[in-house]
Amino acid sequence: MELLFIVLGGVILGALARYIFPLRDTHGSVLMPALGAVVAAVLWEALTWLGLRYDGGWIWVISLVLTGLVVGITDVVLGRRRQARDRAELSSLLSGKARVA
């Protein structure tokens, strides 16, 4: 049951990251919530295997904080890389050096 709650927390953190950080138009609307769910679930299971008890507070804090960091950093980096790549492709198309299929 706790895994369900931690995955829901990851989805919420992913949705928050999508709308807090800029350049949200450079990736899909479900990407960050899905990433948050996966990261939270993997972290929770890894911490459980390392011996942290699911009824303790540290497993919740570590899982949610690290999930928030991963989702936030990924959102910013992905947005910047996509924007730079789109600009490079546009300039290539406008300069006439692009290959046309």
Q: For the chain (length 101 residues), average pLDDT per consecutive 10?
A: 95 96 91 98 97 92 97 96 92 78 61
pLDDT at 14 (0 to 100): 97
Residue 98 has a pLDDT of 64
Q: Would residue 100 count as lying in a domain?
A: no
Question: Would 31 be classed as within a structural domain?
Answer: yes
What is the distance, to the nearest Å, from the Cα of residue 97 to the centroid of all Cα atoms in its chain? 34
Decide if 30 is inside a domain. yes
Report helix, strand or coil for 78.
Answer: helix
Which residue, 74, 61, 65, 85, is CA-closest to 34? 74
Domain range enclosing 52: 2-95
How high is the pLDDT of residue 37?
A: 98
Q: How many domains does the chain have?
A: 1
pLDDT given for residue 48 in this prediction: 96
Sign of the dihedral through C-alpha 62, 57, 48, 7: negative
Is 84 among the domain residues? yes
23: how many CB neighbours lie within 10 A of its CB? 14
Q: Residue 101: its pLDDT value, please?
A: 61
pLDDT of residue 56: 87
pLDDT at 97: 72
pLDDT for the residue 41:
98
Task: Using alpha carbons, select from 89, 92, 96 the residue that is nearest to residue 26.
Answer: 89
pLDDT at position 80: 95
Can you tell me the distance from the alpha carbon of 44 to that of 17, in angstroms, rounded to the nearest whole number? 20
CA-to-CA distance for 79 and 72, rounded, in angstroms?
11
Does 101 fall in a domain? no
Task: State the Cα–Cα distance between residues 66 and 40, nearest whole angstrom.
Answer: 8
